[in-house]
Amino acid sequence: MISSSGIEVTLNNAGLWKKFNSPMEMILTKKIGRKMFPNLEYSVDGLNPTAMYEIYLHMERMDEHKYRFTDNKWDDYARGDPITSIQKIKHKSGGQTGMFWMDGPISFEQIRLTNNPETEKKDHICLQSMHKWRPVVTIRKLENGDENSDFDEEFRIENVWFMAVTMYQNQAVKNLKVENNKFASGFRETGNHKPVNSTRGIKRTASETFPTPPSSTSPPSKKNSNGHSPIAQNFPNPAHFDFSMMGTAHQYWMNPYQNMWNYGYNMGQPMVQPVVNQWNMQNMGQSKNMSHEQQGNPNSRIVPEFYGLSNF
């Protein structure tokens, strides 16, 4: 569209809009708003290259009717809701020279449509559902760097309008959107999902990832009067004890004051421990990395150090 001042505004993706022979439908959502598809991307020509401009977008009610979709078509069946005030959204680039605006596409893809009249969110435009709307571009020339609405020029692209809805009424419109919107691949029959027989990792159960120690090698768990498990006294021969299970970062750590496996899936399972006898008792005294208050504390997270392990 060309104005009397010689400024021309065109819609870059007009061909995509023309694919929708039935009235275009745009979804409104109350909480977070819904981005438009197709979005609005314009080109501008005829501006003064050195002058400063701002560009705005707003939605305009096209008539006084409210519509409904019946028998696969839209009918005006009632008087429209009261027209609300216009919300002009300034382009995020702010004030720029005419050369800047003419140099590239002007996209309003950040615009979100909502039916929440109390929204105060930036870039949200509140519309009434089941009414006709069309986008309007406003070019405002800045005089000495200041806004001046006397220089506003409005542009409406022919045949670019839509019906605001809270859910798609025309299945053909929905199918066209799914087909052309790259972000809607999950709604297509083929989609962009990997084939079912694609090579993937083998799932393992929790018991396979963290195997429970064999019960045959684990002493029975006993509770003392205060509810904690005392250190077990009947241990297997240390010559056959597998110390590789102790301190393994990815499987278990040993708490000798609870006689328990302490890690994820195996928490609370009894475990084998080294023999505590007169031979090594002197080497398993108070741990260097535990304070006096932590000695014998079943909830301590510090693993005691054992001095006699190198002798086995």
**Cα(65)–Cα(132) distance, integer angstroms:** 8
| Residue 209 pLDDT exceeds 60 | no
| Residue 212 pLDDT exceeds 90 | no
Confidence of residue 183 (pLDDT cuts 50, 70, 90): confident
pLDDT of residue 308: 45
Tokens found for residue 25: 């439908």
User: Cα dist. 213→207, 232, 268, 291 in Å?
Assistant: 10, 16, 11, 30
Half-sphere exposure in the Cβ direction for 291 (13 Å, CA)? 4
| Residue 172 pLDDT exceeds 70 | yes
Q: What is the pLDDT of residues 278-299, one digit of tens each?
A: 545 554 545 445 554 555 555 5
Is the distance from CB of 1 to CB of 156 less than 8 angstroms? yes
| Residue 174 pLDDT exceeds 60 | yes
Question: Residues of the chain with pLDDT > 70: what percent?
Answer: 57
What residues does 141 pair with on adjacent strands?
53
Q: What is the pLDDT of residues 115-153, one digit of tens each?
A: 999 988 889 999 999 999 999 999 999 987 666 666 899
pLDDT of residue 210: 52
pLDDT of residue 3: 78
pTM flag (> 0.75) = no
Q: What is the pLDDT of residues 79-123, one digit of tens each?
A: 999 998 899 999 999 999 999 999 989 999 999 999 999 988 889
pLDDT of residue 22: 78
Angle at 49 between CA 45 and CA 55, to 5 degrees: 60
pLDDT of residue 253: 46
What residues does 107 pair with on adjacent strands?
41
Q: Give mean pLDDT, residues 55-70.
A: 96
- Average pLDDT over the chain reads 75
| Residue 244 pLDDT exceeds 80 | no
**DSSP labels, 146-215:** B--GGG-EEE--TT--EEEESS---HHHHHHHHHH-GGGGGGSSSTTPPPTTS--PPP--HHHHSPPPPG
Sorted by where each starts, the structural domains of the chain and their CATH numbers stand as: 8-187 (2.60.40.820), 206-306 (no CATH)
What residues does 69 pair with on adjacent strands?
74
Q: What is the pLDDT of residues 11-56, one digit of tens each?
A: 999 999 998 877 999 999 998 999 999 999 999 999 999 999 999 9
**Cα(94)–Cα(264) distance, integer angstroms:** 55
pLDDT of residue 156: 96
pLDDT of residue 182: 80
Is the distance from CB of 136 to CB of 59 less than 8 angstroms? yes
93 closest CA partner among 145, 54, 65:
54
**Cα(248)–Cα(254) distance, integer angstroms:** 9
| Residue 252 pLDDT exceeds 90 | no
